[in-house]
Amino acid sequence: MSIILRCARQYSREFTILSFGFIPSKSGNYLRTMMTKDFIKDNETKDLPKRRWRKSDRDNSGSTGQKKRKIKAIKKLDGGFEDILLHDVIDLLKKIRTENDTNQSEIPENTNDAVQKDNIDLIDCSLPKIFTEIQLEVKEISSTGDGLAIDTEHKQQKQQRIYVVPFSTPGDIVKAKVIKHHDNQVDNNNYTTADLISVIKAGPLRDDTRIKCKYFATCSGCQFQMMDYQLQLNHKKKVIESAYRNFSHLPQEMVPVIGDTIGSPLQYGYRTKLTPHFDAPKGYISKADRMRGVKNHFKETPRIGFNAKGANYTMDIEDCPIGTDAVRMGMKRERRNVTENIERYTKGATILLRESTHRLPNNETNIATTIPDTIKTINPDHIDFKSCVTDNRSKTTEYVDQFVFTNIANEFFQNNNSILPKFTQYIRDNILRPLSASTRPRTNQIRHLVDAYSGSGLFTITLSSLFESSLGIDISTASINSAQENARLNNLSSSQAKFMAADASRLFKEITFDPDETAVLIDPSRKGCDDTFISQLLRFGPQRIVYVSCNVHTQARDVGKIINGLSTNSDPKNKESEGSSYILESIIGFDFFPQTSHVESVAILDKLSIEHVNN
């Protein structure tokens, strides 16, 4: 029996799509969904925008007489979403072409078989039309979380095409709707994006009984709910391997074996922050009316939730199972508040939902205590009352082992508290690891820490006991104020944990520590480090570097620059003008976001001795 799914990204002109279901058109065709009839009925009054044809769709429609597609130049791949996907497509195409070449070489060279071999190469290469439905076989999962599939009718085609299908797993036979063709005729590394319509035959990695969210396969938030958790961790290890293979520009022998990804203690109910939103009210207001202060108003409660996968509209989402209990409670409350006060809104808004913890000692008095609008959890030593904060400027409180952290609610802090003890302990255990025999013997003990993107002080504070002095630096004054308060809350003096606001690209000008006695920890945003920062880091030359990243692809790129240098010459022996040389000691992933394609990674680098570089 086919497993029927739907993806609400794009849809054909034959259907009008409501919030979570297909409604039949005049043609009488139907598509079933995973949602219940009652759920569809509750949402059938929602008016979703119909798909509009884009010029790019018409030009790549695959129809007879289509316009000639432009040949795109190969751009420098630098760690963005499309770059990552294209690398995975290229890797799979190489594998398929190698397999096809092997299969063709096994065909006997008699007359009839030779003709058959030629025919394999001459299979019709015309593209399916946009919005047509085709049958595909999923071969791999990309680093972006989407399935990579091939046309089952053209498996032996020499110039194979890859189809990117969300919510699919290797081995799945699926029906998919063609959305857009992406062509690079320079090297034939072509792929097509498609929407999942149904799973005709489930692959060995797929188990839909694991799905815990009724919006899965529609909402853009999660990709892997149908997969066993260990399989998710295995995939994320492969993502890190692929990132260093494709983006680091390091020879294989310079990249250590990637460690097994560390799992999250909670696979659901872990997110301490969610930000659902709703769009502005529909309706046109003339410029003259706008000048007079006329504003548009909502005629009904808007859809409040998250974006649909690949679509430009907001889904109406009542609950999100990856949020903590407190956050889910806050989501229901804020949806109700918006509905009751909708007349106050004249434009769209984003709703902040952030967990905060009030901790009390575990005694008879506190066990009997109740606090409204909180989730109460009783532990052996303490009782936590968890609430959901929605005011952007309010303070929130979180605990990581014995450490306490306060933050402004809309400022960054890691969103999975359950894995933070494992995460910070791993860094504590490895930031001072003894050097291997191939690196410089330690003549000076590491005594100083520089936390280059410190935020509110998570690493500076949790690592402070290992160092004589720790310095946290961040560009955000608000984050530095929170970090200084957190140092006081954790009874750390200014010499143990000092913080200052500065641009990370200039921070090394302010540091007086001996580089050979210093470890630098960097935790940049998803875009990674710029060349100015890396250049200063190399010139400063700390003994050890710990690179924490929420984007392993830009991390791999930056680690390659740290090891190879910023010049075009990748020989470490010729890097004297750029500063110190490093060896990549270890890489490991942490799963901060189960059920999604995201993985956090930690890379540790150690400075090479001059003798080793010259040899």
C-alpha 115, offset from chain centre: 48
Q: What does the pLDDT read at residue 238?
A: 98
Q: Do 525 and 580 belong together in one domain?
A: yes
The tokens for 358 are 């009030």
- pLDDT higher than threshold 80 for residue 505: no
CA–CA separation, 569 vs 564, rounded Å? Answer: 7
Between CA 347 and CA 33 the distance in angstroms is 32
Domain contains 547: yes
Give the residue ranges of DSSP H helices in 380-437: 420-430
Listed range (11-15, 90-94, 150-154, 399-403) with the worst mean pLDDT = 11-15
- Binned at pLDDT 50, 70 and 90, residue 346 comes out as confident
pLDDT for 233 equals 99
What is the number of domains present in the chain?
A: 4
Residue-level pLDDT at 609: 66
pLDDT at 74: 41
State residue 287's pLDDT score.
Answer: 67
User: Residue 188 — pLDDT band, cuts 50, 70, 90?
Assistant: low
Q: Are 490 and 560 in contact (CB under 8 A)?
A: no
Q: Is 550 designated active site?
A: yes
Q: Which residue has the tokens 């030593």?
A: 381
pLDDT surpasses 50 at 155: yes
Which long-range contacts link 67-74 to residues 24+ away (Cβ below 8 Å)? 69/181, 69/183, 69/185, 71/184, 71/185, 71/186, 72/183, 72/184, 72/185, 72/186, 73/186, 74/184, 74/186, 74/187
What pLDDT band is residue 184 in, cutting at 50, 70 and 90?
low
Query: For residues 526 and 557, what is the distance between their CA atoms, to the nearest angstrom?
Result: 12
Question: Across the chain, what does the average pLDDT equal?
Answer: 81
| Average pLDDT estimate for 263-290 | 87
Annotated active-site residue in 7, 213, 219, 550: 550
DSSP per position, 213-236: -TTTTTBSS-S-TTS-HHHHHHHH
Please name the helix (run of DSSP H) or strand (run of DSSP E) that holds residue 557, with its range, or none: helix 552-564
Q: List the CATH number of the domain containing 577.
A: 3.40.50.150
Residue 187 inside a domain? The answer is yes
The predicted model scores a pTM of 0.82
> Is the same domain home to 28 and 124?
no
Average pLDDT over residues 556-565: 95
**1 domain residue, yes or no:** no
Residue 73 has pLDDT above 70, yes or no: no
Residue numbering of the annotated binding site: 414, 453, 474, 523
Q: Given a cut of 90, is residue 480 above it in pLDDT?
A: yes
Name the most confidently modeled range: 189-193, 226-230, 346-350, 569-573: 226-230
Mean pLDDT calculated for residue range 378-395: 94
What's the whole-number mean pLDDT along residues 527-547?
94
Q: Are residues 382 and 301 in the same domain?
A: yes
Residue 526 domain-assigned (yes or no): yes
Residues 258, 147 share a domain: no
Q: Specify whether 558 is located in the same domain as 593.
A: yes
The residue from 389, 408, 427 where one domain ends is: 408
In this structure, are 256 and 283 located in the same domain? no
Same domain for 190 and 115, yes or no, is: yes
Cα–Cα distance measured from residue 5 to residue 105, given in angstroms and rounded to the nearest whole number:
40
Q: How confident is the model at residue 193 (pLDDT cuts 50, 70, 90)?
A: very high
Domain closes at, from 387, 408, 429? 408
Residue 297 lies in a domain: yes
Residues 435 and 356 in one domain: no
Percentage, residues of the chain above pLDDT 90: 61
Q: Are residues 431 and 571 in the same domain?
A: yes
| Residue 598 and residue 571 share a domain | yes
Q: What is the pLDDT of residues 425-439, one digit of tens each?
A: 999 999 996 645 444
Is residue 213 a part of any domain in this protein?
Answer: no
User: Is the pLDDT reported for residue 608 higher than 50?
Assistant: yes
Give the residues across from 451 on adjacent strands.
472, 521
pLDDT at 295 over 80: no
Tell me which DSSP letter residue 314 carries. Answer: B
| Cβ-contact 353, 334 below 8 angstroms | yes
Percent of the chain having pLDDT more than 70?
74
* Least confident segment among 127-141, 233-247, 332-346: 332-346
- What backbone torsions phi and psi does residue 500 show, to the nearest 5 degrees? -150, 150
The band of 49, judged by pLDDT with boundaries at 50, 70 and 90, is very low
Cβ atoms of residues 281 and 245 within 8 Å: no
- CB 163, CB 194: distance < 8 Å: yes
Write out the two tokens for 356.
């905060």
R_g of the chain computed on alpha carbons: 27
Domain extent, residue 31, equals 7-44
- Is 228 inside any structural domain? no
Note whether residue 215 is domain-resident.
no
Annotated binding residues for S-adenosyl-L-methionine, written as ranges, equal: 414, 453, 474, 523
> Do 509 and 546 share a domain, yes or no?
yes
Which segment of 1-15, 78-92, 240-254, 334-348 scores lowest on mean pLDDT?
Answer: 1-15
Structure tokens at 546: 């710990």
If DSSP states are collapsed to H, E and C, what string results for 132-167? CEEEEEEEEECCCCCEEEEEHHHCCCCCCCEEEECC
Q: Is the pLDDT of residue 604 over 70?
A: yes
Question: Is the per-residue pLDDT at 586 higher than 60?
Answer: yes
Average pLDDT on 184-210 reads 88
Last residue of a domain, one of 354, 389, 408: 408
- pLDDT for 80: 80
Q: Where are the alpha helices (DSSP H) in 450-515?
A: 458-463, 477-489
Judge if 500 and 572 occupy the same domain.
yes
What the block records as the tokens of 8 is: 């609400």
**pLDDT: which is higher, 115 or 472:** 472
What CATH number did the domain enclosing 185 receive? 2.40.50.140
